[in-house]
Chain A
Amino acid sequence: MTSDPRFRVPLVVVTSVLIHTAVTSQLRIGDTSPDLLILLPVTAGMVAGRSIGAAMGFGTGMALDLFLTSPFGLSALVYCLLGYLVGAFQGGLVAVSPSVTALAALAASAVGVLLYAASSAVLGQPVAVDRLVTVVGLVSVVNALASPLALRVTRWALVDRSRSRVMA
């Protein structure tokens, strides 16, 4: 059962959301915290392409939305688009080198944060624009550093070892 991605993916999503809400979002530098959760759709897009990236983003975003005060479904929408975009542009880069992966994670995280801020603004949610540079900087750098670990976790979740193929 544990080699089946249908079991592993929800396990990774739920555990990641719990760790994000209870631990990493509480590690504040000034008034900004890391956002490692963005790495799930980003690495899923890298490992398994745009469809899986989008699906992983949708699931992760929905789970995160339970704990936020922003409109329910907003994170799901943003993460879904992000997973798809990474899958479309970065799919296949994983095998190149860890530094390329880290750079891709850095750029994708920055896009994710900006996409979220823009979507919030479109829906009339107030966004502290003067903090945006700090948030984008911190989230991108931390996510670039954490990308090798996130990639391993996502591979573990998505690769079906019994059939030796990536979930699709």
Chain B
Amino acid sequence: MAVYRRSRRQRFALVVLILTSITVVTLDFRGDGAVGSLRSGLRDVFAPAQAVVARVFSPVTGAFGGISRYRGLRSENERLRRELDTAKAEALKGADASRERRLLLALGGLDFAGEIRSIPARVVGYAPSNFAVTIEINKGIGHRLAVGMPVVTEAGLVGRITEASWDRSTVLLLTDPASAVGVRLATSGEVGVVKGAGQRRLLPLDLIPVEAELKPGDAVVTSGLDGGLFPPAVPVGRVVMAKVEPGALAQEATIEPTVDFARLELVKVLLWTPRP
């Protein structure tokens, strides 16, 4: 009898905990401000302790990162050597064009950020989960950042801020499966959508019509259409492969992002929010 009563009590405790979890999930889904505020507030409370722990263990994480990236570094070294040889040959040819480009950059004509002001931030961590591809940066609402702002490096688009506390922000990377970016082909002007597919992978480029001219190497930039999540002309990647399956309504294409997501250290947050 006592065992039965104890078992019933245990099941009751489980039901209470499950119902509490489901209630919190539901409140968060409905965009309840209290849950969001509690989350960002507690994250700020934990942030200093997290920074101390990260600093104490930094030799371990640094050494591990070096070991796990060793093979990648070797192949990258070989690739860079080949590229350097090619670049040396091209250097003389491109000297004049390069000078012109520098002048234009100095005028601000080719800078993809244009007039948009930006704030630099340091990457302080990756997502503490295997089911999200995000980074944490060391700036937040206290530095004028807000949810929705685009994050870039000089190479191009990194992602956008999805959560911000006082001095920390979470950035959803372009490669996260939940990410979808409206893009335009720099050559033909056709618009499409680049979707995330996890880190170190080629990203699918969808909705490009079959009649559009698309070839490997074509540059892909953000479309900047009204209501879009990003300003126009931010570099996203280059087309790697494009083909048309018989009977398909759109081309099957993939792009390689211009940003190296495995080595993000410093980023810039554009002080730009999507137009409603």
CB-based nearest A residue for B7 = A50
**Residues of chain A in range 24-77 having any CB-CB distance to chain B below 8 Å:** 25-33, 35, 49-51, 54-55, 58, 61-62, 64-74, 76-77
Near B by CB (< 8 A), chain A positions 114-132 give 116-117, 120, 123, 125-128, 130-131
Q: Contact mask B154-177 → A, CB, 8 Å, 1/0? A: 000000001100000010100011
| B-chain residues with CB within 8 Å of residue A32 when the two chains form the complex | 130
> CB distance A120 to B21 under 8 Å?
no
Tell me, rounded to whole Å, the shortest Cβ–Cβ distance linking B234 to chain A. Answer: 22
Stretch at the interface among A13-21, A97-105, A144-152, A157-165: A13-21
The prevalent SS among residues of A at the interface is helix
Sorting the interface of chain B by its residue count into under 10, 10 to 19, 20 to 34 or 35 or more gives 35 or more
Q: A22-B54, A23-B54, A126-B177 are in contact. Are A68 and B43 (CB under 8 A)?
A: no
Q: Is A110 an interface residue (CB 8 A)?
A: no
Q: How many A-B residue pairs have CB under 8 A?
A: 147
Among residues 257 to 272 in chain B, which have CB atoms less than 8 Å away from a CB atom of chain A?
Answer: none
Contact B29 A123 (CB under 8 A): yes
Q: Which of A19, A61, A72 contacts B28 (CB 8 A)?
A: A72
List the B side residues contacting A70 at CB < 8 Å.
Answer: 129, 131-132
Which A residues contact B (CB, under 8 angstroms)?
Answer: 18-23, 25-33, 35, 49-51, 54-55, 58, 61-62, 64-74, 76-77, 80-81, 84, 113, 116-117, 120, 123, 125-128, 130-131, 135, 139
Interface residue ranges, B against A (CB under 8 Å): 9-10, 13-14, 17-18, 20-25, 27-29, 35, 39, 42-43, 46, 49-51, 53-54, 57, 60-61, 64-65, 68, 125-134, 162-163, 170, 172, 176-178, 196-200
